[in-house]
Amino acid sequence: DHFELQVQPDDQLAISVSSKDNELISRFNNNTLIGGGNNSQTGTNTVNVSSGVSYFQVNKDGNIEFPIFGTMHVGGMTTGEISKMIQKRMIDEGYINDAVVNTKIMSFKVTVMGDVKNPGPQTYQGERLTILEALGKAGDLTNSAYRNNVLVIREENGKRKAYEINLLDNQAVFNSPAYYLQQNDVVYVQPNKSQRVKGSTSYTWLSV
């Protein structure tokens, strides 16, 4: 599985810093700390390792405010890339020589609209959500839903882009850039043509 989600504005990140030295990592905990840097053992034969998890909200510019380091740009990066960047700075700059950093996306929000049984926003815990999973969470499509052209509306570089997905074509679904959903995506399931206003287009509802 080659897919790796890129961090987007509004993502909530959990970043943990681990070290054998509790005092060293305490400086890198922010006010949302969970764990308190307490010693923990994962087994009788392991060395005590201190760790703390802090939570960060990615702002509209793709930045987080990280303790000691200040503003760090993480937008467009994968969680693995973020972990490596922070870990490298801690080691290179002499803060924590044995630092181990782990980054996770805690949750992101998508909205499913249109001809589904339970439309509305969904908050998903985890790093991956497919369009099929989102539709399932929305109670699936109604019998009158138009399955040939489901839209995923995504903001990219300040502009809205609509991806069309034919749910009846499995290969097209899996190959679509919108198969894996991202932060603030909107999934729109159109009603069958008999229920649409004559002459309207798929995109009229997107106008601002």
Question: In the prediction, which pLDDT does 201 show?
Answer: 44
Query: Beta 49-57 vs 39-40: how paired, if at all?
Result: antiparallel
Q: Is the pTM of this model over 0.75?
A: no
Q: Could you give the CA distance from residue 14 to residue 33 in angstroms, rounded to a whole number? A: 10
For the chain, 208 residues long, give each residue's pLDDT as a single digit of tens.
456 778 988 888 999 999 888 888 888 877 554 333 333 333 333 345 567 788 899 999 999 999 999 999 999 999 999 999 999 999 999 999 999 999 988 877 899 999 999 999 988 877 688 999 999 999 999 988 989 999 999 987 778 999 999 999 999 999 999 999 988 899 999 988 655 544 444 444 443 3
Question: In the prediction, which pLDDT does 45 show?
Answer: 34
C-alpha distances in angstroms, 19 versus 28, 37, 44, 107, 161?
Answer: 11, 9, 18, 26, 43
What is the DSSP secondary-structure string of 81-100?
A: HHHHHHHHHHHHTTS-TT-E
* 60 φ/ψ sector (left φ>0, alpha ψ -120 to 50, else beta): alpha
Question: In the prediction, which pLDDT does 71 show?
Answer: 95
Contacts of 60 (CB under 8 A, 6+ apart): 9, 10
For residues 160, 161, 162 and 163, what is the CA-based torsion angle, rounded to 10 degrees?
-150
Structure tokens at 154: 């995504």
Structure tokens at 92: 């290179």
Structure tokens at 170: 């499995």
184 near 155, Cβ under 8 Å? yes
CB contact burial 1-11 (16+ within 10 A = b; e otherwise) = eeeebbbbbeb
Rounded to a whole number, what is the distance in angstroms from the first to the last CA of the chain?
37
Question: In the prediction, which pLDDT does 161 show?
Answer: 93
Residue count of the chain: 208
Question: In the prediction, which pLDDT does 32 show?
Answer: 55
SS3 118: coil
Question: In the prediction, which pLDDT does 40 show?
Answer: 36
